[in-house]
Amino acid sequence: MNVRVAVIGGGSWGTTVAHLCAHNTATILYARDPVVAGAVNSSGENPRYLPGRALHPDLHATSDIAAAAAGADVVVMAVPSHGFRETLSVLRPHIGDRTPVVSLTKGLEGHTRKRMTEVVADELPGRPAGVLTGPNLAKEILAGQAALAVLAMPEADGPLADQLRDTFSANDFRVYTNTDVVGAEIAGATKNVIALAAGIADGLGSGDNTRAALITRGLAEMTRLGVALGGEPLTFAGLAGIGDVVATCVSAQSRNRHVGERLGRGETIGEIVASMDQVAEGVKSTPVVASLARSLAVDMPITEAVRAVIEEGRPAAAAYRSLLDRPPTSETRW
């Protein structure tokens, strides 16, 4: 696919996806920090987020968002959920009426509880929109290790999805397609909440049995919410669901698991966030996911426990205990 790709967002994952696309087609990376953009161009690496990791030599970067978007055939959004809408509004004058937009963001908008493709529909009506998601840890992919992802776009955009799949696929990074955009986005947002819970359990000194239980029951919560919103159950058994949950809950590279572990050790969410230079989407997503679940009468006890720790300052040990003290019930009860 001979197109020009603009990746908006110079964090670790945006940089990595830009690196992958550069193997296949002309790609430009927008980084808000001119120092980061300059380093990508001069040294071929992102020293702030991915120091020592060589990027494709054909990848170019800019700190001018209009220059990045001008003439782009595909726009890839790699900005946090809380800045997603504002960034799209800035991009609006600079991209074509039918330019596809692919989200890398795993979160929900706070005040509207909307998925990122819904925000795209609001701000850039008429543009095809999809999401690239899955168990994708940036440093491993840049190290050349095999990884899989799923590109979810509506069925009507099937031919476009097939073309974009080939744009993102490079080296041992393999991309599948899926038509369940709702399920893929809900999985991406909720898995971060479960990763926080797994991290809290780790911080409290729990073992592998506990982590496995949280992953399993967390997947049940994710699936209930996704299906209630119109998603497909099979999506949650795939890369966007269980695949991403496992990677995020067990990897030392997971920001959300890291935040949860520190919460389990007694730090406050304010202290943790202030010490980090990248966004852990689960911190902002947890209250939104919990609110959405309550509005749909979907039972999500793990999510509620994590929300209480983040929003109310409930001690992590008490939240953990509340889950174990719940009345027993059927495993498959919805």
Domain of residue 152, CATH code:
3.40.50.720
Residue 131 lies inside a defined structural domain of this protein: yes
Phi/psi zone of residue 90: left (φ > 0), alpha (ψ -120 to 50 degrees), beta?
alpha
CA distance linking residue 130 with residue 107, whole number of Å: 14
What confidence score (pLDDT) does residue 281 get?
86
pLDDT for 280: 79
- The reply to whether 333 falls in a domain is no
The residue among 334 and 142 whose pLDDT is bigger is: 142
Q: Which of 106, 114, 191, 284 is catalytic?
A: 191
What CATH number does residue 290 fall under? 1.10.1040.10
Would you tell me how many other CB atoms lie within 10 Å of the CB of residue 145? 12
Listing from the earlier edge strand, what are the strands of the sheet with 173-178? 60-62, 26-30, 4-8, 74-77, 101-103, 129-133, 147-152, 173-178
Assign residue 193 a region: left if phi > 0, alpha if psi is -120 to 50, beta otherwise?
alpha
Q: Tell whether 52 and 95 lie within a shared domain.
A: yes
More confident residue, 9 or 280: 9
Q: Please name the helix (run of DSSP H) or strand (run of DSSP E) that holds residue 264, with its range, or none.
A: helix 255-264
Under the banding of pLDDT at 50, 70 and 90, the label for residue 276 is: confident
Task: Please state the φ and ψ torsions of residue 222, each to the nearest 5 degrees.
Answer: -55, -45
191 is annotated as an active-site residue: yes
Please state the domain count of the chain: 2
Q: Mean of the per-residue pLDDT values for the chain? A: 96
3-class secondary structure for 156-188?
Answer: HHHHHHHHHHHHHCECCEEEEEECCHHHHHHHH
Residue 332 lies in a domain: no
90 and 198 both lie in a single domain: no
> Domain containing 213: what range?
182-324
Is 225 in contact with 115 (CB distance < 8 Å)? no
Arithmetic mean of pLDDT, 272-286: 87
- My answer on whether 190 and 262 are in the same domain is yes
Of residues 334 and 153, the one with the higher pLDDT is: 153
Last residue of a domain, one of 179, 213, 242: 179
* pLDDT the model gives residue 277: 77
Write down the pTM of the prediction.
0.95
